Copies of this chain bind each other. A is one copy, B any other.
């Protein structure tokens, strides 16, 4: 697949696409991703070719091997990306896990449940001398649990609406 040295596994991107990768990247940085990992998820969403090799990612984003390796492993561990292989090709082709967004939504909901539980612990040890405060806390907890309970039905409704 290379005569002496290819040296250009780079993916061709328009200016618009490059800029979009940066914007989506920044959004992910705000969610706690490292700059490198944020650019990688972004690239895998924006790239016209959705399955990219280690070197395609590295060269397109201008990252070092270590940064690329660490970013890819982090994203695999946190279920943001996945990879596939092809017989007779040792490379791994990395791809966004956007297709399993339903699972991600479920995980996000589980997190809300955890927050509600922690809030409940706070509420349980609060004195009766702060009724207003306690009421607010109790409301948030109740609302979170309500949302949690209603979301599956809402999802079904959406699923049916889209035939």
Contacts and interface: CB of A to CB of B under 8 A. Distances in A.
A56 to B, nearest CB: 16
A155 to B, nearest CB: 8
A84 interface: no
Interface residues of A, number: 44
A150 B154 contact: yes
A64 interface: no
Contacts of A155: 143
Contacts of A99: 132-133, 136
Given A115-B27, A140-B98, A147-B154, A125 B20 contact: yes
Given A98-B133, A147-B154, 9 more contacts: A16-B125, A20-B125, A32-B32, A46-B122, A48-B130, A101-B136, A101-B139, A139-B162, A150-B154
A17 interface: yes
Contact of A118 (B23, B98, B137, B157): B23
